[in-house]
Amino acid sequence: MSDSVSLSGVGIGRGLALGPILRMPDPLPEPADVASTVGADAEKVRSAGALAATAADIRLRGQRAGGAAKDVLDAQAFMAEDPTLKDDVDARITSGKTAERAVYEAFAAFRDLLTSMGGYMGERATDLNDVSQRVVAHLQGVSAPGVPDPDYKFVLVARDLAPADTALLDLDKVLALITSDGGPTSHTAILAREKSIVAVVGATGALELTDDQTVIVDATTGAVTVDPTDEQKAAAEATIASRAAAADVPVGPGALADGTAVPLLANLGSVDGAEPAIEKGAEGVGLFRTEFLFLDADRAPTVAEQQEKYTQLLTAFAGKKVVVRALDAGADKPLSFLNDAPEENPALGLRGIRALRANEPILRDQLTALANADAATDADLWVMAPMVSTVEESRYFTKLAKELGIKTAGVMIEVPAAALLADRILPETDFASIGTNDLTQYTLAADRLLGSVASFQDPWHPAVLRLVGEVGRAGASLGKPVGICGEAAADPLLAVVLVGLGATSLSMSPAALADVRAELARFSLDQAKEFAELALSANSAVEARVAVVNAANAFTTSISTITESE
């Protein structure tokens, strides 16, 4: 049909975007340790100039950013101007190094010193790496690493984004993200989903895209159309406009076509997200990730500090259900004060409830702060433990939570062991919430951060669905609620399947609520159960999806055949 090239990856959400590409520069390679060809004096002039220019550039960025970012960037500017560091660089140049190599080594020496101090100081090591890369980039006359910041809107292309990069994205300028690495449940994908950024991850060939090529990014299909034709551009613009209009229609509670209520809740990582979630029709919060309150901290926040945040959240959702997850550190989001020990396989390490148990005072403080906030507000607070893998852990958490004043305590089912024993775990606790991202990771033995195994990271896999069904069945027979708070709930058709498997509520990033609400309204509970059976009987995620899509389409076609009498 057209001359345009198309790349494909995994789309996050259902958004569509059109715009020019900007590449995120790759990290610079370590400068080679070769002899200087220009002599020490000239190298010293070069390094001094690059350090000063980098400091000035960082300071300017800080002034533009303002707020907390300005403080961080000012500190980085002083690092580039540091007289002790400059002395170190000059000494290395005197011994025969190039300016690039001397800067690299001097920063590395300070970085190693800070890393060896551990904790908070160790975390500043990342800042040093960033400054070091910027100075070396300046010396080599190449673009500095980091998210580009032009004065126009663009589609960001990167190998992958660090959480810090994603957090600092200017959402008024970034139209979409395309990454070559990373799976659909990587930290980056989750943040992109939470911020409603159109994203396609794991797109092979993305790194061959060049700045100022134009692309259409379609998260629904995971397709990236490169250099689209005028017709393709016009069609994309029309779709973007009509979706923007559709997003403004009134919202209501989630329900199936036969009236079965399926409460639709929001996954949130910060109190700021409450207002927009309610506007999109969230009936409450199904997963409040408390670790984002702790991420920049070098120590656990006090009871009073936490209580203030929780009170704000619960106040925003007065009269509604709010499910808070106790601190879940580890794997992709380490917290130095919870688990500082290096681990070969962090996903299989001391994380979730295990890390909390090893640091019970931190857990006690958090539960106390939550109970206090609950007492002071009108929301319906539920609290759950992350990554529970045994009946005994469920008993431990529930007992401790109740003792500290939590009214409703539950566990997250993210490990196959917990799903398989759901009929024994649920009697020990008030509810279960299935985290489909981790459950998929552990069931398929596929690291959710690793692009090379991203194809395994698919919650449509019948093995994952069978485990969900175990929990759903146990919940139904014991009369206990079973929620889904993984990203699987944000996939509209999969959401219907999950309800068919026994999920009683669905929680997702607010951006996905409208699509899921619309899809649920198309089918009855019996149909949802049929779809669930179809998916369970498939041999693979792809087969399961195709089978259910076909069944759903057949239903839609029969309806439209009647109404349009085609």
Residues that bind another protein (CB under 8 A): 71-72, 74-75, 78-79, 82-85, 110, 113-114, 117, 120-121, 124, 127-128, 298-299
In angstroms, give the least distance from the CB of 89 to another protein.
12
How far does Cα 475 stand from its chain's mean position?
A: 28
**DSSP state, 332?**
T
Determine contact, residues 425/374, Cβ cutoff 8 Å. no
151 is in an annotated binding site: no
Residue 366 CB contacts under 8 Å (≥ 6 apart), including other chains: 290, 306, 326, 327
Active site residue 187: yes
The 3-state secondary structure of 24-48 reads CCCCCCCCCCCCCCCCHHHHHHHHH
Provide, rounded to whole angstroms, the least separation between the CB of residue 140 and another protein.
Answer: 23
Alpha-carbon gap, residue 81 to 135, rounded angstroms: 11
Q: Taking every pair of C-alpha atoms in the chain, what is the biggest distance, in angstroms?
A: 86
Helix (H, G, I), strand (E, B) or coil at 147: coil
Whole-angstrom CA distances from 60 to 53, 54, 63, 359 are 11, 10, 5, 42
Q: How far is the CB of 124 from another protein (least distance, A)?
A: 6
DSSP 243: H
> What is the distance, to the nearest Å, from the Cα of residue 87 to the centroid of all Cα atoms in its chain?
41
- Nearer of residues 102 and 287 to another protein, judged by Cβ: 102
CB of 449 closer than 8 Å to CB of 181: no
Structure letter (DSSP) for residue 510: G
- The distance of closest approach from Cβ of residue 164 to another protein in the complex, given in angstroms and rounded to an integer, is 14
Closest CA to 112 of 96, 88, 93: 88
Min separation Cβ 120 and another protein, Å: 6
Q: Is the separation of the CB atoms in 65 and 103 below 8 Å? A: no
User: Between residues 26 and 296, which has the closer beta carbon with respect to another protein?
Assistant: 296
Cα dist. 254→380, 402, 489, 504 in Å? 19, 30, 12, 11
Question: Using an 8 Å Cβ cutoff, are 520 and 256 in contact?
Answer: yes
Nearer to another protein, 55 or 379 (CB): 55
Residue 120 or 142: the one with the smaller Cβ distance to another protein is 120
Give least dist CB 299 to another protein, A.
7
Q: Which is nearer to another protein, 42 or 109 (CB)?
A: 109
Q: Which is nearer to another protein, 113 or 247 (CB)?
A: 113
Q: Is 437 annotated as a binding residue?
A: yes
Active-site entry in 14, 46, 59, 187: 187
Q: Of the listed 176, 215, 485, 512, which one is catalytic?
A: 485
Which C-beta is closer to another protein: that of 70 or that of 407? 70
Six-digit token pair at 553?
Answer: 């389409």
- Return the percent helix, strand and coil in the chain, to nearest 5: 50, 15, 35
Q: CA 542, CA 537: separation in Å to the nearest integer?
A: 12
Query: How many C-beta atoms lie closer than 10 Å to residue 213's C-beta?
Result: 16
Is 91 or 121 the residue whose CB approaches another protein more closely?
A: 121
Q: Compute CA 133 distance to the chain's CA centroid, rounded to the nearest angstrom.
A: 26
Question: How far is the CA of 210 from the CAs of 148, 259, 388, in angstroms?
Answer: 14, 50, 45
One-letter identity of residue 395: R
| Nearest residue (CB) to another protein, 210 versus 302 | 302
Residue 372 annotated as binding site: no
The 10 Å Cβ neighbour count of residue 26 is 12
* Residues in Cβ contact with 275 at an 8 Å cutoff, skipping those fewer than 6 apart: 316
To another protein, the closest distance from the beta carbon of 307 in angstroms equals 18
The residue length of the chain stands at: 566
Q: C-beta of 117: minimal distance to another protein in Å? A: 6
User: Is 414 annotated for ligand binding?
Assistant: yes
> In b/e form, how buried is each residue of 283-297, taking b as 16+ CB within 10 angstroms?
bbbbbbbbbbbbeee
Shortest reach from residue 191's CB to another protein, in Å: 24
What letter represents residue 90's amino acid?
A: D
Structural contact between residues 515 and 502, judged by C-beta atoms closer than 8 angstroms: no
3-state SS class at 327? coil
Which residues, in sequence order, are CB contacts of 252 under 8 Å at separation 6+? Answer: 281, 517
Could you tell me which residues are annotated as the binding site for phosphoenolpyruvate?
289, 325, 437-438, 448
Task: Name the binding residues for Mg(2+).
Answer: 414, 438
Q: List active site positions.
A: 187, 485
